[in-house]
Amino acid sequence: MLSGITIGQFFPGNSLLHRMDARIKLVLTFAYIAAVFIPRNWAGLAVAVGFLIFTILLSRLPAKLVLKSIKPILPIIIFTSALNIFYVTDGTPLFDWAFIHITTQGLTTAAFIAIRIISLIAGSSLLTYTTSPTTLTDALERLLSPLKAVRLNVHELAMMMTIALRFIPTLIEETDKIMSAQKARGADLESGSLMQRIRALIPILIPLFVSSFRRAYELATAMECRCYRGGEGRTRMKQMHMRAFDIVCIAVVVLMAAGLIVLNFVLPPVI
């Protein structure tokens, strides 16, 4: 029943976006998320959304996938839009009844915010869709390596993330097994009040905890057997290289951000 859970979904492919240097991809994704908040007029927003659509096409992933990533946050989008509709009271009133004032300005703001949120979620899921979790952790380790200067152990942080990702499916499988075992002994997990159901989880969590510690101990032994001694003197099989395409990407994103700022000055703001 838990096998449906996937975290950091990755869809292997060979598109330009897949082959991009993961470090650059990570930085540019953050840059894009920031850039989405620059535009204050429709033209600027259209440029940001256009850029997103262009990258989706570049990834050669079905657009349906990207839309699916928005589904879980739909309630948040609706909630924020609703708040904006009711709270922004500038502009021409369209509907006025008791305490409800809907104005043109409110609707504009709501639409604007909704498009921003959708773009930023779609943009960041595009990152995880086109980059394997290990590559992503690896990129993070390399990007954060300057923090070694302030005595932050970046390597250990990345190692922990890698191991966590590796063991998610294993632990899910184990939870399934323990649940079946407890059900076979008559444990009732699906009925009763909330408190009862929470209490019914205890006999599942305890064996899971115990076995996780056992696994951790064994994994540590196995890592020692393979000469692991922390990040020092360790090399990596996969090297990350910046290629011409990565530089082009950086340039495009920088130009887009600059363009958005210019548009803010040229055109009148709508929000």
Partner 1 sequence: MAIIKAESVRFHYDTDNEEGAAQSLMVLDNINLDIKTGEFVAVLGHNGSGKSTLAKHFNALLLPTGGQVLIDGKNTSDEHNKYEIRRMVGMVLQNPDNQLVSTIVEEDVAFGPENLGLEPDEIVRRVHDALSTVGMLDYREHAPHKLSGGQKQRVAIAGILAMQPDCLVLDEPTAMLDPQGRKEVLETISRLNRERGMTVVLITHYMDEAANADRVVVMEHGQIIMQGTPREVFSKVDKLRAAGLDVPQPTELCYDLLGQGIPLPEGILTVEECTTALLQILEENNAGN
100 bridge partner residues: 97
Lookup: tokens for 83: 């708040």
Out of 224, 242, 254, 262, the only residue in the binding site for partner 1 (CB under 8 A) is 224
236 makes contact with partner 1 (CB under 8 A): yes
- Applying CB under 8 A, among 233, 244, 265, 268 the residue interacting with partner 1 is 233
Choices 40-48, 96-104, 145-153, 223-231 (CB under 8 A): range interacting with partner 1 = 223-231
Q: Tell me which stretch binds partner 1 (CB under 8 A): 101-109, 118-126, 142-150, 227-235.
A: 227-235
Residues 8-27 interacting with partner 1 (rule: CB under 8 A)? 12
Using the structure block, give the residue that is written with the tokens 């256009």: 50
Instruction: Annotate 137-165 with DSSP letters as a single string.
Output: HHHHHHHHGGGGGGT--HHHHHHHHHHHH
Among 78, 205, 228, 254, binds partner 1 (CB under 8 A): 228
Q: Check binding of 181 to partner 1 (CB under 8 A).
A: no
Given candidates 234, 243, 248, 262, which one binds partner 1 under the rule CB under 8 A? 234
CA distance 200 to 125: 35
Our finding on whether 170 is near partner 1 (CB under 8 A) is yes
Enumerate the H helices of the chain as residue ranges.
16-19, 22-35, 42-59, 63-70, 74-87, 104-130, 133-144, 154-184, 194-225, 244-266
d(CA 134, CA 201): 32
Q: Does 225 bind partner 1 (CB under 8 A)?
A: yes
3-state SS assignment for residue 233: coil
Beta bridge pairs of residue 97: 100
Of the candidate spans 17-25, 123-131, 212-220, 262-270, the one that interacts with partner 1 by CB under 8 A turns out to be: 212-220
Pattern 82-121, partner 1, x by CB under 8 A: ----------------------------------------
Choose, by CB under 8 A, the member of 34, 78, 222, 258 that binds partner 1.
222
Query: Contact 81/111 with Cβ under 8 angstroms?
Result: yes
Rg (CA), the chain: 24
Q: Which stretch binds partner 1 (CB under 8 A): 17-25, 53-61, 181-189, 229-237?
A: 229-237
Q: Does 145 bind partner 1 (CB under 8 A)?
A: no
Under rule CB under 8 A, residue 241 binds partner 1 = no
Q: In whole angstroms, how close is the CB of 231 to partner 1 at the nearest point?
A: 10
Does the footprint of partner 1 cover residue 268 (CB under 8 A)? no
Q: How far is the CB of 109 from partner 1 (least distance, A)?
A: 42
Burial 70-95 (b: 16+ CB within 10 A, else e): eeeeeeebeebbeebbeebeeeeeee
